[in-house]
A and B are shown apart, each in its own frame.
Chain A
Amino acid sequence: MYQKRTSIVNHLSVNVILILSTLEIGDSAHIYGVTRALAVQREREFFFGNEGDFSGYGIFNRPILLEPVTEAITYEAEAISPFIKVNNITINAISTSSVAHIGNTKSVNMEARIKHIRQLEPRER
């Protein structure tokens, strides 16, 4: 059976949690997160507000192939010490559908798709 240990954190400090991120202190069962991002870096600050269309790029609907686990695994755990101890955790930022999780969970399934685009000023030759 999967034994569940207790996580003990003495000090946890998080500066920023943004864009659909989670700080979970406690147990959970399933964690599912998806990130789809158009990372545009422009040489000059220039915003149009409603630009960017995910369907225009293949990366956002291309299947990510993961090897299926075919090995028959039996897992036995013996909790001699039922604690996971961390004295001090300092996190600056948790962002774009990420999770900081203090505690047990059953299954984690997360996916990130990022399209990078660079727009530079014309260069005088």
Chain B
Amino acid sequence: MIFQVYNRDLCVGNMKIGSISSSSILLVGDTETIQLASIFDTPPESLIIGPFVPLSRQG
């Protein structure tokens, strides 16, 4: 695949951003490769209803 790009004017007026968090990126510029990966889970057993039990101590 030949990917040819003709970059003409790129002008943005305003950017209002709440927050950039957990390994995210705001890029105003050129780059070659971007690889972002995220994994999260909230399985049923992670909802604990009952007396507070501290999580397992630091290993």
Contacts and interface: CB of A to CB of B under 8 A. Distances in A.
Nearest to B50: A122
Nearest to B47: A118
B30 A86 contact: no
Interface of B: 1-42, 46-59
Interface string A66-89: 100001111111111111111111
A117 B43 CA distance: 9
B15 A123 contact: no
Q: Which secondary structure dominates where chain B touches chain A?
A: strand
Contacts of B20: 21, 91, 93-95, 98-100
B23 A35 contact: yes
Contacts of B46: 115-118
A4 B7 CA distance: 11
Q: Which secondary structure dominates where chain A touches chain B?
A: strand
A74 B28 contact: no
Contacts of A94: 19-21
29 contacts: A7-B29, A33-B23, A34-B23, A42-B52, A50-B57, A54-B59, A86-B11, A89-B14, A89-B15, A89-B17, A90-B14, A90-B16, A92-B17, A93-B18, A94-B20, A98-B22, A98-B25, A99-B26, A101-B25, A102-B28, A104-B29, A106-B32, A106-B33, A108-B25, A112-B23, A112-B39, A114-B40, A115-B41, A120-B48
Contact of B17 (A9, A90, A117): A90
